[in-house]
Chain A
Amino acid sequence: MSLALIVILPFLGAMLPALMIRAGRNACALATGTATLLAFALLLVHAPAVVLRGEVVQAGWQWLPGLGLNVNFFLDGLGFLFATLILGIGLLIIIYARFYLAKEDPMGSFYSYLLLFQGAMVGIVLSDNILLLLVFWELTSLSSFLLIGYWKHLPEGRQGARMALTVTGAGGLAMIAGMLLLGHIAGSYDLSVILQHGEAIRESELYLPALVLILAGCFTKSAQFPFHFWLPHAMAAPTPVSAYLHSATMVKAGLFLMARMWPVLAGTEAWFYLVATAGLLTMVIGAFIALFKDDLKGLLAYSTVSHLGLVTMLFGFGTPMAAVAGVFHIINHATFKAALFMNAGIVDHEAGTRDIRRLGGLVFLMPISATLATLAAASMAGLPLLNGFLSKEMMLHEAAHTAWAGQGWLVPLLATVGALFSVAYSFRYILHVYFGRRRDDYPHPPHDPPAGMWLPPALLVVLVVLIGLFPETMAGTLVRATAAAVIGGPVPDFHLSIWHGFTPALGMSAVAVAVGLLLILSYPRVRALWQAGPHPEAKAMFDATLGGALALAQRFTHGLHNGSLQRYLAFAVAAMVLAGFVAFSGAPHEAGTRALLPMQPVAVVAWVLLLGGCMLTVVFFRKRLLSVLVVGTVGLIVCVAFIYLSAPDLALTQISVEVTTVILILLALYFLPKESPVSSTVRAQPLRHLRDALLALAAGGGMAAVSWAMMTRDGVSLSDYYLENSVSGGGGTNVVNVILVDFRGFDTFGEIIVLGIAALAIFALLDGALHGRVGRRLSAWTPDLPVSVDRHPIIMVVATRVMLPLALLVGAYIFLRGHNQPGGGFIAALVVSIALIMQYMASGFAWAAQRVRVKYHAMIGGGVLVAVATGVGAMVLDRPFLTSAFTHVHLPVVGEFELASAMAFDAGVFLTVVGAVMLALANLSRMGRWTAHRPVNKMAMDVDPSAAPYREHH
């Protein structure tokens, strides 16, 4: 359980900073740090078992067992190492960021994003289920998007965030497919199971596609060539983010996954050529570009790309010793690179620029920072007595023994080239920033930062030195435990030490340092040479690719969705006809066995009416008001059909919906042309009309045939189950209502929420539109219909007032009896809404709105809450959500009646529906007021019968 808590704590903690920022910036940072510290402490509790005794701690529970998705966590050496990096460096970053962020930066949201990210990262490294891992993987992409784009006002920040999300998100998508393949081969999505099936997975024919897809995810996340370009652009983020995400944690997620999958996927030729080659290329190219970056963070970003390539290459070699070297370098790189990123932030903060060309000679102005930077950068260069040296030696040693396609010289040569560039850019960081001539044109007068900013990197530099001096004591145990988890078998016998004798690796190292120093000493000449060569710009290529993809998607979308409703309908109907035809051609074609019923003359009349209504719609289609009217007859016959086929609930619903729809359409039609354009006539577009006619005939004929086939056959349906269990299970005899509020109550619950959201969206959209362009267009628009002078006719006002209580009574009646007889909350809500709309129609919006004290928004929310309360009530009594209960109560005078919890749920439905319908209609009707240019009516009707002139007649 405490394992899960390690993952959950940062997520829970993510809420704290957003709240605590009100108590000040220190409290905010303290709350954030506490959440991380707690998680870190919990992690360290497991250290003895995991690191010293090599045990694997497990915890978890089932989430969606049907999908193989379990919330399983496990902690082994590899997970422990990464969790330590994430939480330990996270803690330092939190302290550093407290002093780094300016007063005007919103600190609360920064720390919230940071903790979200932290939780997602810890989730990745502790997941024992690859589906769960994927969830966390995507969460890191999202939270890093928020962090990179934290300075929303900077276009580079937004673009960099978008690019990072696009690239890592695309890789994540590929990885989902790869993981599903992997789980399919292994027969389980649990990592601990998959790790035992390495042999079977490597022999499967799906191995290669799974490998390529998973590597696509790893390479994009870890910025491997050719996906490396997003990382430098992500440097637009605040420096704490760069130090955390882009040196220590997120970019290492890809490495982590390669290490995690190492026992399963590594060791094949495909693995070697894909992974080792990508790593080698990335290492050399990244180091080369880094040498010519003038932005400090750009230099560090490409250097990170290069070092990630180094580790990738080591994992790609596929030998246990290379894996050990890879693990060791992950530790070393995290320490010196995070320190350097923080250092770059300090320089930026204190000197006012990160441009190396404007810096130099800072060593006397910022002695502490200079010392820290020199040590960390020397470690990055791989100088002896520092930790970077050790793992680089191990890398060169492995490279010296590796042949690529039979060529024994290729890998060692390129590895040395990568190392010498690495030496060169590290020295550039030291010499061009801190040494050289002291200048007097720094944007700010530079000085050392407050202790809160230099202490975190100092702590890391101490580690750099200590590991460099006493590698076996400081890191041996951790490396061994981690390597054991990566290799998944016996760990090769090794001893971390500074001196290995005169080996080829030492020679390569010496060459690298010598040539690297030479390069940096003659930097102007090297730079001129580089300037003459080509400079492919990754961002331009990325933008062009993205633009091309967008244009293609747009052409495709606009081809399908060109704004013509006929076209949408034609596509949809044609697809349905096609699907129906495919199903039909593959099924038996005998006639049904049921006897036919005699034809009722009344049914024939209704049928003639239905046909007549449809045909008239076609005839009158250009006159829009007439079309609405004629379609109304079709609705009328549908209601009758529901009654005739014994579905009174549906009939009641249909009747109310018809009325509401008519009002809705008429409200909209007021602002629309009253006639369809001439271009829509048969003569103007004969081909389109022919297409539509054929489609309509095919679809209509198909529906008729399906209905015929269904009704002449005996089939099994669910109805019997509902009929049997309605009274015993739901306590109601009206099965339709019991289905709505009980059997499928959860569906209804979702539907009322959707309805509420839709109504609120209508409100929000209209409100926004009316105050913008649409509002101006509306006030410039004059109604195109002749208008009668009678605004609120007295006879209509009187009639609707009389009908109001009657309609409300009917609504109450239908609601109350709904559980046992036709009716229910939904129908009652429509009835009440219509009763209220009548008043709006008769006396105008302003008059009615003044008299309705209830806010419709609140009504929607209240309805949903009532429904929730009903559902939770069942949970309080230890039953599943929305289980209904009922009892019979005897009251004097009233007699015995039933009391069901479903009634309360139905009340929730009622409130939501009334609120939604009224909110939508009332707001649509508000549009008319923008065109009226006349004062709103205060009176109920045009004339006031109580006014003097009328009284005089009596």
Chain B
Amino acid sequence: MIEHALTFGYVAVSIAVLLNLWRLLRGPSLMDRVLAVDTMVINVIALIILFGIQQRTTVFFEAALLFAMFGFISTVAYCRFILRGDVIE
């Protein structure tokens, strides 16, 4: 059963990242593109977790954890840049 769930998960997340790539290409606004990358990071977290389940290991969990924490920081930095120009005032 878990095999099927994993396959479904992979397919869904794969389609999602490809759509993110499309959004990154199309935009149209800069904010759309920042959000596209942000969403891509979230989808990659999903990929890593799925991969960990498939391999039956917890070794990749920290990578997902760091992505979850710091993908956010990059996005915040981009937003600050767009809003204020200076990332650290």
Footprint of B on A, CB under 8 Å? 601-602, 605, 608-609, 612-613, 616, 619, 625-626, 629-630, 632-633, 636, 639-640, 643-644, 648, 651-652, 655-656, 658-659, 662-663, 666-667, 669-670, 783, 785, 787-788, 790-792, 796, 803, 806-807, 810, 814, 821-823, 831, 834, 837-838, 840-841, 844-845, 921-922, 925, 928-929, 931-932, 937
Contacts and interface: CB of A to CB of B under 8 A. Distances in A.
A629 B34 contact: yes
Nearest to A790: B83
A445 to B, nearest CB: 69
Contacts of A932: 86, 89
21 contacts: A619-B25, A626-B30, A629-B34, A629-B78, A643-B48, A643-B51, A643-B60, A652-B62, A658-B70, A658-B74, A662-B77, A663-B73, A663-B88, A667-B86, A667-B88, A788-B84, A834-B70, A838-B73, A838-B76, A841-B73, A928-B89
Contacts of B67: 639, 655
Nearest to B85: A785
Contacts of B77: 659, 662-663, 666, 841
Given A612-B21, A655-B70, A670 B86 contact: yes
A640 B86 contact: no
A625 B30 contact: yes
Interface of B is mostly: helix
B37 A629 contact: yes
Interface string B23-45: 01100001001100100110010
Given A601-B14, A636-B40, A655-B66, A921 B88 contact: yes
Contacts of A643: 48, 51, 60, 63
A841 B37 contact: no
Contacts of A632: 37, 74
A792 B51 CA distance: 39
A837 B32 CA distance: 25
Contacts of B51: 602, 643-644
A599 to B, nearest CB: 14
B89 A791 contact: yes
A186 B83 CA distance: 73
Contact of B63 (A609, A629, A651): A651
Given A625-B30, A629-B33, A937-B89, A841 B78 contact: no
Given A616-B24, A659-B74, A601 B89 contact: no
Nearest to B81: A666
Contacts of A831: 66
B5 interface: no
A605 B18 contact: yes
Given A601-B10, A648-B59, A651-B63, A633 B24 contact: yes
B34, B59, B60, B77, most chain A CB atoms within 10 A: B77
B24, B62, B76, most chain A CB atoms within 10 A: B62
A840 B73 CA distance: 12
B63 A655 contact: yes
Contacts of A616: 24-25
Contacts of B62: 648, 652, 810, 814, 822-823
A803 B69 CA distance: 8
A612 B78 CA distance: 21
A921 B86 CA distance: 13
A710 to B, nearest CB: 24
A841 B14 contact: no
B87 to A, nearest CB: 5
A670 B66 CA distance: 27
Contacts of A608: 18, 21
Given A633-B40, A636-B44, A787 B85 contact: yes
Interface residues of B, number: 41
A602 B87 contact: no
B25, B60, B69, most chain A CB atoms within 10 A: B69
B53 interface: no
Nearest to B60: A643
B23 to A, nearest CB: 11
A928 B60 CA distance: 38
Contacts of A601: 10, 14
10 residue pairs, one from A and one from B, having the closest CB atoms = A925-B88, A928-B86, A788-B83, A785-B85, A605-B14, A659-B70, A844-B89, A612-B21, A655-B66, A651-B63
A787 B84 contact: yes
A791 B84 contact: yes
Contacts of B66: 652, 655-656, 810, 831
Nearest to A821: B59
Given A666-B78, A791-B89, A822-B59, A633 B37 contact: yes
Nearest to A661: B74
B76 A841 contact: yes
B86 to A, nearest CB: 4
B30 A670 contact: no
B14, B17, B74, B76, most chain A CB atoms within 10 A: B74
A148 B78 CA distance: 57
A640 B67 CA distance: 11
A421 to B, nearest CB: 74
B59 A605 contact: no
B87 A663 contact: yes
Contacts of B82: 625, 785
Given A608-B18, A834-B70, A844-B88, A640 B48 contact: yes
A602 B89 CA distance: 41
A670 B85 contact: yes
A925 B17 CA distance: 34
B37 A662 contact: no
Nearest to B87: A666
Contacts of A840: 88
Given A602-B51, A666-B87, A834-B73, 20 more contacts: A630-B24, A636-B41, A648-B63, A651-B60, A652-B66, A659-B73, A662-B78, A663-B74, A666-B77, A783-B85, A787-B85, A838-B73, A840-B88, A841-B76, A841-B88, A844-B88, A925-B89, A928-B86, A928-B89, A932-B86
B3 to A, nearest CB: 14
A90 B24 CA distance: 76
Nearest to A640: B44
A656 B84 contact: no
A652 B63 contact: yes
A640 B78 CA distance: 22
Contacts of A792: 89
Given A656-B70, A834-B73, A841 B44 contact: no
Contact of B88 (A602, A626, A636, A928): A928
Contacts of A921: 88
A613, A640, A643, A932, most chain B CB atoms within 10 A: A643
B40 A602 contact: no
Contacts of B34: 629
Contact of B80 (A619, A652, A841): A841
